[in-house]
Amino acid sequence: MKQIVCGMVLVLGAGALVSACGSNNAIRVGGAPEVGVRNCINAAARELKLPVSTSIAADRGTSPRDGVYAINLKVGPQARSAVCTVDENGAVLGVVFKRPE
């Protein structure tokens, strides 16, 4: 699971801290381009009206068809589940939040 907080990437599992998003360190989730992962995180923060400094974790991703990527997110302190889709250029196609249980 990769977690982006305040522009930094924390790779959980591996236990290593990677520098800010603008660096050369690629953030790849399910094959999605780095810019797509960042755009998904920003879109999720906007959609829930949360500050960018909110903890948003990119959990895992898939590619249901060529050029489209679905990225599972965990948003906020309650780890609310969301799915964000992006295209191969990193443009966000949509963010869907799962209903809280």
Tell me the C-alpha distance between 31 and 80, whole Å: 23
Tell me the pLDDT band of 4, cut-offs 50, 70 and 90.
very low
Tell me the C-alpha distance between 89 and 67, whole Å: 8
Tell me the C-alpha distance between 21 and 19, whole Å: 7
CB 49, CB 56: distance < 8 Å:
no
Task: Give the predicted TM-score (pTM) of the model.
Answer: 0.68
Convert the pLDDT of each residue in 72-95 to its tens digit: 999 888 888 999 999 999 999 999
pLDDT of 89: 93
Measured in whole angstroms, the distance separating CA 86 from the mean position of its chain's CA atoms is 10
